[in-house]
């Protein structure tokens, strides 16, 4: 079995995915971390040097390689915008959308350093997050088998909900 975690940066995919997987004693993977391992650089530096298109190509390869894996997988926030990624995610596991308001996301992220999408333009992070969420929410909603609003929940509460989805 596999659970794919989708949602915006700052929604908690990595932190709650790690907590849930550890509690359940199952594997955990983070596509952003795997991309960084593959390219030998942080996402921010790779994005700056090679561009979003190159980053998305590597991300697509990583998602495809995880299709047959089991456990919990945290995806990058924009992975769902790629048609090939959506197809892999939809056919290979349960999809959980960790949903949060832009203001909550901005508060969690804090300094936007290392977040390429938030470093573009002159708008404050919460406005950029709102615009990005508007673009991605349709894909999140279409893919999601489950939606967990995370604004008012602790990471432990979100992880517990994911654990409940894993258990038969």
- Six-digit token string for 39: 């390219």
Tens of pLDDT, residue by residue over 37-49, are 999 999 989 999 9
d(CA 82, CA 21) in angstroms, rounded, equals: 26
Tens of pLDDT, residue by residue over 124-159, are 767 778 888 889 999 999 999 999 999 999 999 999
Domain tally for the chain? 1
Which CATH number does the domain housing residue 140 bear? 3.40.50.300
DSSP symbol at 150: -
Enclosing domain of residue 124: 2-166
DSSP symbol at 76: P
């Amino acid at each position: 079995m596999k659970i794919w975690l989708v949602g915006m940066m700052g929604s908690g995919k990595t932190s709650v995915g790690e907590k849930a997987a550890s509690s359940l004693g199952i594997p955990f993977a983070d596509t952003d971390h795997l991309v960084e391992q593959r390219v030998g650089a942080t996402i921010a530096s790779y994005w700056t040097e090679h561009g979003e298109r190159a980053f998305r190509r590597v991300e697509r390869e990583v998602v495809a390689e995880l299709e047959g894996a089991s456990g919990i997988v945290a995806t990058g926030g924009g992975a769902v915008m790629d048609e090939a990624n959506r197809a892999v995610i939809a056919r290979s596991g349960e999809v959980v959308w960790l949903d949060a308001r832009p203001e909550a996301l901005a508060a969690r992220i804090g300094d936007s350093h290392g977040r390429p999408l938030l470093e573009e333009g002159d708008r404050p992070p919460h406005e950029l997050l709102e615009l990005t969420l508007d673009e991605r929410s349709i894909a999140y909603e279409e893919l999601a088998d489950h939606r967990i609003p995370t604004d008012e929940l602790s990471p432990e509460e979100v992880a517990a909900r994911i654990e409940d989805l894993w258990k038969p």
